[in-house]
Each structure stands twice: as structure tokens, then as C-alpha cells.
Copies of this chain bind each other. A is one copy, B any other.
Amino acid sequence: MILETYYLDCLAQASYLIISEGEALVIDPQRDIKIYLEAAKKHNAKIKYVFETHHHADFVSGHLEFAKVHDATIFMGKEAKADFNFVGVADGSVLRFGKAKVEFRETPGHTLESVCAVLFDLEKDAKNPEAVFTGDTLFIGDVGRPDLLGATISKEELATMLYNSLQTKLLVLPNETKVYPGHGAGSMCGKALSNDKVSTIGREKDTNYALQAKSKEEFISLVATNQPIAPKYFPLDVQINRKGAQPLQNVIGNLRPFSTQEVVLLQNRGAKILDVRSHKDFSQNAIPSSINVGLDGSFATWAGCVFGENDKVIIVAQEGKEAEVATRLSRIGLDIAVGYLAGGIESWEGEMEPKPRLAPKDLESILENPNFQFVDIRGVGEFQTERIENFKNFPLNNLSDSVANLSKDKEIILMCRSSYRSSVARTFLENLGFKKVTDVEGGILACQEDGLKIVTEECSMSKV
């Protein structure tokens, strides 16, 4: 039996491939499924089964492409409400292929249909499990957030289910059972996720903050509060995953190169320009009204906060990177890239403008000036932990919902951690018609370095 972990840094998302005797199971695949197909081929195996631990909110899964194009069978919890065909597993359902046996356990809490998969390597030990794939039920250092279904069921009810699922389905596994979760640090699916890629049940029992709760009530109050704001695109992704996404090739294969003239024409007709260069390069010189989301960061998450499913996007990227950009957009369900500026920014023949930024040393003198709006677009937890006085917190996660609180007349000064996100927010706001927006160069890190006064506050449970 072979077990391979695939970790997508951009979305802090883990997926898994289990191969035995020519057959393979993929768990929570990312949307671009070529990596799994190639790995399976390398091992002379066919991916016959896809297991979705639940309907993901934070990324679009490739499950339907496996089913439609590669004839795989999808497994999900029996409570899943999906448009596609699947095997709905119940507590105790089993899938065996080769020398691998997967036993499913229903673990409602993060969602109602959540299921974990206990893996046995029958060659090694038919009695004791090798590992458990915990999806978004149990992370390393954290547990699934129970607050995303608020519209249909309260977070307290879900937290109660999560508590029961953890206690009766996962923590009863032997301590040495390896834990392979659905996400790592940086994910919006929890608030204290570790950078580690694998743990054990025993280690989580000992160290996971949520599992230290002395009572069900304490657990509920711990996990139902201080969760990061869910990015704007989460409901869209649930919807897409329920339906099943179209094959990625349908998106990538249709990307067209555009000349400057065509880009201008399309922009006039409502298309948006997405410049994926680093925020530093972008600030030097950029196409007016273009939006900057650097590829060198959690690109998909932040793109998902500023673009919507109905946008049409023209990519400005280093030559050869266009398909990667479109793929990374599609990974969160934004099949919105229509083409790219042929030749990249160097070929642009139209107007350009620099995006001057505010140096931290120049910030101090205007902090008391009522003609400025000081906006920190980091997460609530980050903001609470350390911030500059007079900044208000409007997280980028749902900035599109907060714009009504901002005035178009007063200049906006944006702050984030390193000025990656503030470049996203700045260009997003400019695109919405805010004419006077500047961001603090280097963000709060640079402010600290330059000795600006930082308000600090302990808030251990809110790392995002």
C-alpha cells in the first residue's frame, strides 16, 4: 500500500492518494487532478474511488472530473446533498481495494455530512488502523469550525455534534493512529491549525487546544467563537461542489491571448484586469484599474475575496504563467479567466501609472488627521493581537461587504502585515471607484521595525 500526501500551500489544503494492487483512492482532491492521475500512472494504478470528506467551502474539488472523465466512483457521507451520483456511506461502511481497507465514520459537526476515513493496511495490521483522514473534523492543533452553516443550523448545535463526533468516533482510535487532516496553517477553516502535515490521535489528545476542554460546554464555547471571517467565496464553492465542477480543461483550454487594444476594449465592456506580479513590482508601474493579487502568496484565498463568479478577468502575468493563474482561480471555483495580455506587462502599449505607497515613517504624522480613513484589512485575530492606534479593522475576507462603511471623499490608508494584502485591497477599492487609496509600505512589520507605536493585546486563540 502506498500513501501519498499532496499539500497545496496556496489554499493550505491537503489531499491524499492511496494505492494498492493497481487501484487507487484519492481523498479530497484539488480541482486540478493531473497530479493524482500522473502519480497513479507512475504506480500502474487506476484511480477508481474518490472520497470527499464533506462539501468543501474553501476550494473546489476535482471529484466530478474523476467521475465523469475517469469513471471513478465518488464516496461521500450519506447525508450529503449533491447533484452528482455518489455512494453515500454510513457509519461503518467499508471500502476495500487491494490490501487497503477504509472504514468510514460519520462525524457531523463542521458540516452535517462530514465523514472521516479510517485506513487499514491489511498487509501490516488488519486489526489496528494505520491512519485516519479527518477532513475538516479534526486538524493538527485545531478542530473543524462549526459556524459556517449559520443560516440553517446554529454553531452551538454543530459544535455539540462535533464534540460527540470527536469523542465517540475519532478519539476512541488507538493513540498511535496517524492523523491526516484536510488543512494546515493558513486555512480559513479553523483558527489554530498547525504547520505540521501529520500527527497522531495521541498527540492531538495531548496538545490540541480544543481537545483540552474539560466539558462539552467548554468545548462549545471554545470552538464556536473567534473563528476567522469566512471569505466571500465560501458559499459559492459549497454550491459548486454540490453540483460538481466542470473539467478544468474546459477553462484552461479556452484562454485567449489579447493585444493591448483588445484588453482596453474588453475592459471598457466590463472585464477586469488581474495583475499577478508581486506587490512591489506592481507598485512601480501598473495598468490603471488593474487589480493586483500576487501569485507569490495565498493567491486563491485573496482573489476569492475580491472577484466574483460573474467577473470576466484578463490576466497580466509573466509569460507561461497564465494557465497557472487560471488554474489557481478555478481551484476556488472562479472560472472567470477569459484570456491574458499577450507577452505580459512588457508588451503593454497603453497608459501606466505608479502606485505610490506610504512609508511607515510618514504614517505617524497623519495618524491624528481626520481627513484620512485608516483601515487595517488583516483578520480580526491579527488585528487584535497588534495594531496601530486609530486604524479600524475591515478584514479583506469580506471587504466587499464593508465598503459601504468607507467614504470615497477621504483618503484611505490601508494596512496589512507585509503589504501583500493591502495591494489587493487598494486595487480592489480603486476598481470600485475609490480614487484616494494608499497602503502602508511593508505593513505592520515595517511599522514595528521603524519603531511606530504598536498596540498589543494577547489573543492566543486567534492566529488568523
Query: A23 — nearest CB in chain B belongs to which residue?
Result: B85
- Alpha-carbon separation in the docked complex, A144 to B205 (Å): 46
In the complex, are the beta carbons of A88 and B78 less than 8 A apart?
no
Query: Are A92 and B90 CB-contacts (below 8 A) given A73-B48, A73-B73?
Result: yes
- Determine whether A89 belongs to the interface, using a CB cutoff of 8 Å to chain B: yes
Interface string of A75-95 (1 = CB under 8 A from B): 100100000011111111111
Interface string of A83-112 (1 = CB under 8 A from B): 001111111111111100000100000000
- Determine whether A353 belongs to the interface, using a CB cutoff of 8 Å to chain B: no
Q: How many Å from the CB of A39 to the closest CB on chain B?
A: 20
In the complex, are the beta carbons of A85 and B73 less than 8 A apart?
no
- Alpha-carbon separation in the docked complex, A450 to B407 (Å): 111
Q: How many Å from the CB of A455 to the closest CB on chain B?
A: 53
In-complex Cβ contact of A87 among B78, B91, B94 (8 A): B94
Majority SS at the chain A contact face: strand
Chain B residues near A93 (CB-CB < 8 A): 78, 87-90, 93
Q: How many Å from the CB of A129 to the closest CB on chain B?
A: 15
Most B CB contacts (10 A, CB to CB) among A89, A91, A94 go to: A94
In the complex, are the beta carbons of B95 and A87 less than 8 A apart?
yes
In the complex, are the beta carbons of A85 and B71 less than 8 A apart?
no
Chain B residues near A91 (CB-CB < 8 A): 90-92
- Alpha-carbon separation in the docked complex, A92 to B77 (Å): 10
Chain B residues near A86 (CB-CB < 8 A): 94, 96
B-facing residues in A18-56 (Cβ within 8 Å): 23, 48
Query: Are A96 and B85 CB-contacts (below 8 A) given A48-B73, A73-B48, A73-B73?
Result: yes
In the complex, are the beta carbons of A98 and B73 less than 8 A apart?
no
Chain B residues near A88 (CB-CB < 8 A): 92-96
B-facing residues in A429-453 (Cβ within 8 Å): none
In the complex, are the beta carbons of A90 and B87 less than 8 A apart?
no
- Alpha-carbon separation in the docked complex, A98 to B71 (Å): 14
B-facing residues in A50-79 (Cβ within 8 Å): 71, 73, 75, 78
- A residues whose Cβ falls under 8 Å from a Cβ of B: 23, 48, 71, 73, 75, 78, 85-98, 104
Q: Which 8 A-B pairs have the closest CB atoms?
A: A88-B94, A90-B92, A90-B90, A90-B93, A85-B97, A78-B94, A85-B96, A93-B93
Write 16 A-B pairs (CB below 8 A) sorted by A numbering: A23-B85, A48-B73, A71-B71, A75-B87, A78-B94, A85-B97, A85-B98, A87-B95, A88-B94, A88-B95, A88-B96, A89-B90, A90-B91, A90-B93, A91-B91, A91-B92
